[in-house]
Structure 1
Amino acid sequence: MQQATVDLWELFLSAFISSTIAPGGSEAVLAYMASTGSYRIENLIVAATVGNTLGAMTTWGLGMLAARKYPVATLLSAEKQKALVTVKTRGLWTLFFSWLPVVGDALCFAGGWLRLPLFSAFLIIMFGKLCRYLVIAWLFI
């Protein structure tokens, strides 16, 4: 496998992990890779966007599963309870902001908890993440 392909998979994994279980630096990885000029920008943006979106949808799915078993007050941290209220009152388009640090994961979890429409949630989350990665790539090319 070519090194460029391996590097894109590493960016994908960094973006996925950054949007699920651990804080990560997919933005820094993308910025570095874009600044080297060694990669097609389109490939970098696609790898980062797809990885981060799938990670966010994993968090959305965890929210949906958690809602089946646990009441809000016993499971959710104050941050996630606040995100739940925000998504409930402001609607599906709040998921566009899933790219934001700290609150983004909570918004995705809340979207799943509230059982927002899967396909619509996916598209809105992906659009927000794509916009973020486009800006980062543009800043560092």
Structure 2
Amino acid sequence: MPTWFTPFMQWLALPEVGLSTVFVVAFVSATLLPMGSEPAVFGLIKLNPELFWPAILVATAGNTLGGAVSWAMGLGAHKAVDRARGSERSAGELRALAWLRRFGPKACLLSWLPVVGDPLCAVAGWLRLPFWPCVAYMAVGKLGRYVVMTSGLLWAFPGGIG
């Protein structure tokens, strides 16, 4: 590991910097950008174990807010497409609509999944699923992911850093 990495991680893990860093990383990673927030959460908690719950809650809030932005982007994209082509729907969209209508906002529980979770939030907006129930299910799924992943990483890597 490069010599600069540990001091950099320690700086990012300072409580006055670390929680805001976790929020921003979690927010950005919940959009359609391909990145993960778990390393930032794990690094902060590894260096500041007393911040376990604050970091989990801040990451959940940032990731859920990012999912809500993805939902809004999906809704906006749908409105733009409707204006451009009329209100016709493709066969694929109708199948997705039927599947998601069956599950409704509960499908957003799966927003924690890698690869499909973030686009699922956008599709929920595209399909005009109710915003607040979608956000609530996103939050539950994302909270569960952070608790399980971070606890698992702490169990797998129990030693200190540095």
TM-score band, normalised by the shorter chain?
A: 0.7 to 0.9
1:88 aligns to what?
A: 101
Q: TM-score with structure 1 length normalisation?
A: 0.83
Of 96, 120, 123 in structure 2, the residue corresponding to residue 107 of structure 1 is 120
Residues 95 and 49 of structure 1: CA distance in aligned 2, closer, same or farther (over 3 Å): same
Gaps of 5+ in 1: 75-79
Query: Are 1:137 and 2:137 matched, yes or no?
Result: no
Query: Could you say which structure has the larger radius of gyration?
Result: 2
Q: For residues 1-141 of structure 1, what are the structure 2 equivalents within 5 Å?
A: 3-71=14-82, 86-141=99-154
Counterpart CA distance in 2 for 1:86 and 1:58 is 22
8 Å CA contact 1:87–1:107 kept in 2: the answer is: no
How many percent identity over aligned positions? 36
Residues 92 and 38 of structure 1: CA distance in aligned 2, closer, same or farther (over 3 Å): closer
8 Å CA contact 2:31–2:69 kept in 1: the answer is: yes
* 1:100 partner amino acid: L
Shift of 1:47: 1.1
Shift of 1:25: 2.2
Counterpart CA distance in 1 for 2:132 and 2:54 is 24
8 Å CA contact 1:64–1:112 kept in 2: the answer is: yes
Moved over 6 A (4+): none
RMSD across aligned positions (CA): 2.3
User: Across the two proteins, how many residue pairs are aligned to each other?
Assistant: 133
Shift of 1:36: 2.5
* 2:40 partner amino acid: V
2:9 aligns to what?
A: none
